[in-house]
Amino acid sequence: MDSNKKREKTDLIVLLLYPIIATLISFIIPTGVLGSIVIFFGVPSFYLSYRAREHIKKSLIFSIILGIPFTIVIDYIANVTRAWIVPVSIFSYKFLGHIALEMFLWAILYSYFIIMFYEHFLDKSVSKKYYTKNTRYLVILMLVLVGIFFLFLIAKPTILHIPYSYLVMGIVFGAIPLVAAVLNFPRLISKFLKTGAYFFFLALTYEITALKAGWWDFPTEGEFIGWISFLGIRFPFEELLVWIMLTAIAVLAYYEYFDDDKK
C-alpha cells in the first residue's frame, strides 16, 4: 500500500470514529447549537483542511455561495411554518425575526465538510480555478431565488406559509436537482452514494444527539407525512428522508453541476 493510500485510510478511520467522539463530548460538555456545529462539523472540516489544503478555497467559496441563500429561504419557511425550530440561540437577534444565526454557520460548514470529504477521498481533482462559468450561473440562480423570496416576503408573506413545507422544500431543492444530476451524469452515482453513506451516519448521529440535548424541535404535528421513533427520540419521516439521507448527496449534485468537472 502506497503512502497516499495509507494516509487516506488513516483519515477515513479518524472520520468514521469522530461522530461517536463528538456525541460523547456533547453529552459531557453542554455545548448548545453553536458549539454542536463546531464540534460535529467544524473540527472534522478543519482536519480535512489540514490534510487536503489544495481543495480549501474552491470548497469554501462554493459552500458560501450555496449555504447563505438556502439558509435564508429554507430556514425562514421552516420556522414560520413551525416545521422545525431552534428553541435556544446564544444570539438575541434572529435574522428576519426567525432564523437563528447559527444556521448560517451550519449551512456553510456542513456543505464545506461534504465537498472536502468528496474531493479528498473520491473525486481527487485539483483545479486552479476556484469558480467556473457554471458557478456564475449558480450565483445568478441564488440571487434570483433570494430575490423572489424577498418579493413574496414584502408583497404577500402568506405565500411562504407552505403546507408540508419540509417535504415540499426537500423535493424542490434536494430531490429534483439530485435526480437531474444523476440522470445527466450517471458516472457520479457511485461516488455520490459512497459520500452519502458516510454523511448518513454522521447526520443520524447528530440528529440523535441534538434531540436528546434539545438543540432543535419539530413543533407542528400535522405538517409531516409520518414520524419515526428511535432510541427514545421522535422525529418526522421528512427529517430522515431529506436531511439525513438526501442533503449531502444533493449538495454534491449542485457542486458537480455548477462548480466541478462532472467526472
pTM passes above 0.85: yes
| pLDDT score for 12 | 94
Note the pLDDT of residue 259: 75
Range of the domain at 195: 3-259
Structure confidence at residue 95 (pLDDT): 96
Confidence (pLDDT) at 134: 84
Residue 30 pLDDT: 83
Checking 214-220 for CB contacts under 8 A at 24+ apart, the result is: 214/87, 214/88, 215/32, 215/33, 215/36, 215/86, 215/88, 216/33, 216/84, 216/85, 216/86, 216/87, 217/84, 217/85, 217/87, 218/83, 218/84, 219/82, 219/84, 219/85, 220/81, 220/82, 220/83
Number of domains in the chain: 1
Q: How far apart are CA 241 and CA 243, in angstroms?
A: 6
- Side chain identity at residue 232, one-letter code: G
C-alpha cell at 69: 441563500
Ranges of residues in the chain whose predicted pLDDT is under 50:
none
